[in-house]
Amino acid sequence: MPKLTIVVCDHIHQKGLDILANDSQINLINAADEPKDKLITEIIPKADVAITRSSTDVDQFFLDHAKNIKAIVRAGVGVDNVDIDGCSKKGIVVMNVPTANTIAAVELTMAHMLSCVRQFPYAHNNLKQDRVWRRQDWYGTELKDKKLGIIGFGNIGSRVGKRAKAFEMDIITYDPYINPCKATDLDIGYTKNFDDILACDIITIHTPKNQETIGMIGAKEIAKMKDGVILINCARGGLYDEDALVDGLKSGKIAMAGIDVFNKEPATSHPLLDLDNVTVTPHLGANTKESQQNIAIQAAENAIASAKGIAYPNALNLPIKESDLPEFLKPYLELIQKMGHMSSQATREQIKKIKIITEGEVSDYIDSLTTFATVGILKESLEESVNYVNAEFVANDIGIEIEKDKQANNSGLSNKITIRLTTTNSIFTISGTVLGDNAQRIIEIDGYSLDLEPKGKMILFRNTDVPGVIGDVGTIISSHHLNISDFRLGRDKNAQALAVVKVDGEVTKELLEELNNLETCISVSFVNI
């Protein structure tokens, strides 16, 4: 039996290389030091599986030469440099290693927190480089009894909370996607009011980077904070508005900031580097020997398992081969995942139950539809930690009930798929179908009939159905210099209406607040597909 070839494109820990080299069924090619052109044009065509890191882009050029590859393992968490859609079209499974660097990121967060309160780097430089012994210049503060606000209480944020407890801090977390008992069981406070976080002495953020969280802390939020607040970001660049962060540090509103990640990296000329009240590191969240070893071991084991066709741990996509599923089903799978993503963005609350309802021939594939819907729903809050393999297990683990309901086809359509999402405070329902030429359409939202392509930036505006509303909405949107590219309206018998307004450009919190303040507004939300 011929050996299976695994190509290591970028440097990984020797432990991972040893695992690959010692498997008798694996032909290891360590191409980490090869020029990228040679790697892709001469070596990748031989590969059954490739292990990559951030130095190798899995783009169209790479995929054009990946003649035999069945899986790609990203040795780390982020997959920004991997064209997942392109891989899916070629039937290539993309996997990552999402938990190997958890402790490293947690401990770096604590290091930045301690460095900020004790100004450790500056005291160190003052003595070691300037040879000045002035203890009176370096009075710090203690973590004990300080109020710590944790934004995002997932795998990393929760562990930061546990360690902060050992410092006798008063801790509160904000995470609308978790069951509050995940925090309260650890004797950690939970809030649904973001202003409670802004009132803390120290704030640290541990969320995915998505439409909801980019610029989550900006000038408006900083203005509400305590004078002398300390901010930490060891998660993703851009979660704090960097211009607002610089302004806050210069004014003294923010006493110190500990930053490991930047919006654009490498950040060797960033204005934060010019300030004396910032501790910075060059994206070291995963840079421990233990973390790198764990990443390499897991990546090697995953690569071997996928090469042999045994398993695809932490798969981020699902290879759909022509022979596996009927052709008509594929656009429905894509559609229901988009519908799931729309549902979670429209509600932005803790999810209690996911119900999938099917009508027509698609009912024979309700299990696959449920998996894709669940991935779409959880993607907003869990990002890399949810995939097609583990989606329903993850949902059950965080207390989400999943129900499947095959119904008689009374819709007048060939097929109809519906997601009914139950959250702590509401029920959100969305239905869709696929028309001729595989045209995906949303046909109903919360009982309002629509004809909507699930694509683009959409404002969902529910209002009392009285004259002048459309004009008011249009005036506010245009005042923010946005162009309305499409406007869909659904009405009911209770004198209420739902408008879905597609816009070109960025939708700000201020715009949504202005719409929400309209007397006719019942609710407003924003989704981006």
Q: At what angle do helices 509-516 and 469-479 cross, to 10 degrees?
A: 160
The tokens describing 329, both together, are: 């089903």
Contacts of 86 (CB under 8 A, 6+ apart): 58, 59, 60, 63
Angle (CA) 281 285 154, round 5°: 130
Cβ atoms within 10 Å of 273's Cβ, excluding its own: 12
Q: What is the DSSP letter of 364?
A: G
Question: Does residue 236 carry a catalytic annotation?
Answer: yes
Contacts of 427 (CB under 8 A, 6+ apart): 420, 421
Return d(Cα 383, Cα 409) in angstroms, integer. Answer: 34
Contacts of 106 (CB under 8 A, 6+ apart): 156, 159, 160, 163
The tokens describing 126, both together, are: 């003052």
Question: Does residue 134 carry a catalytic annotation?
Answer: no
Q: What is the DSSP letter of 12?
A: -
The tokens describing 359, both together, are: 């009508």
* Type of residue numbered 372: F
- What is the DSSP secondary-structure string of 295-333? HHHHHHHHHHHHHTTS--TTBSS----TTTS-TTHHHHH
In DSSP terms, 94 is beta-bridged to 72
Q: Residues 13, 53, 159, 236: which is the catalytic one?
A: 236
In DSSP terms, 279 is beta-bridged to 258
The tokens describing 468, both together, are: 């002048």
DSSP helix/strand/coil, 374: helix
Residue among 147, 134, 144, 138 nearest 119 (CA): 138
The tokens describing 79, both together, are: 């997959």
Are the CB atoms for 460 and 446 separated by under 8 Å? no
Length of the chain: 529
Cβ atoms within 10 Å of 93's Cβ, excluding its own: 24
Helix H or strand E segment including 150: strand 147-151
Q: Residues 118, 283, 348, 420: which is the catalytic one?
A: 283
Checking DSSP bridges between strand 351-360 and strand 278-280, what pairing results, if any? unpaired
Cβ atoms within 10 Å of 301's Cβ, excluding its own: 18
Residue tagged 């245009």 (tokens): 478
Residue tagged 């499409």 (tokens): 486
Q: Residues 42, 142, 168, 265: which is the catalytic one?
A: 265
Cβ atoms within 10 Å of 423's Cβ, excluding its own: 18
Helix H or strand E segment including 495: none
- What is the DSSP secondary-structure string of 461-502? EEEE--TTHHHHHHHHHHHTT-EEEEEEEEE-TTSEEEEEEE
Residue among 432, 413, 430, 410 nearest 422 (CA): 430
Would you please indicate which residues are annotated as catalytic (active-site) residues? 236, 265, 283
